[in-house]
Amino acid sequence: MKTINKTQQGFTLVELIIVIVILGILAVTAAPRFLNFQGDAKLSVLRGIEGSLRAGMSLIEGKAIITGQNTAALSCFDNNVVRAATAIEIAATTATRCATGVDVVFGAPAASVASLQAIAALDGGIVVHDNASGAALTPALTVAAGTALLGNNLQDLRAATATCRVTYTAATGITAATRPTIAVEPTCS
């Protein structure tokens, strides 16, 4: 006949339930702090946009210096060259004035949707709006002249307290104080 060793007992049901409840409480309180992947992903996209804009801006600026167009109020980036704008292009009053290529202002990209998409290769769902394209939305998106907003989606750009977007401000002159700026608003949720 077998003898049963009374010292080898497992956990009781009550002990198992207590451990499960404690693990559940820890999961509910700690997991959201460590699993905010959406905000991190959005911020990573914004940093990528910033890098693309800076690289494109450097390329345009170098090409403008080579052709002597870095001090021109308007020139055009066309066929991989920054060329002088024609008199008709300079006199144009449309948002994009270059007949071919994209607008370049003082050796840097203009703050227009076409210019920024062309120089930074922004595709894959990146939303870009300037004052002309923002005004065409319903309801309108307020974008200051000479500025473009870039982000993951329209909601990130539209929010009254938008804190998850990139703001590009075009050059207004050739001095250091008037060069273009790129600002990342890095609070994404």
Mean pLDDT of all residues in 11-20: 90
The answer to whether the CB of 115 falls within 8 A of the CB of 109 is: yes
pLDDT for the residue numbered 7: 66
pLDDT for the residue numbered 106: 93
Instruction: Indicate the angle between helix axes 37-67 and 113-120, nearest 10 degrees.
Output: 90
The structure tokens listed for 114 are 């076409």
> 158 pLDDT exceeds 70?
yes
Hey, where are the domains in the chain?
37-63+109-186
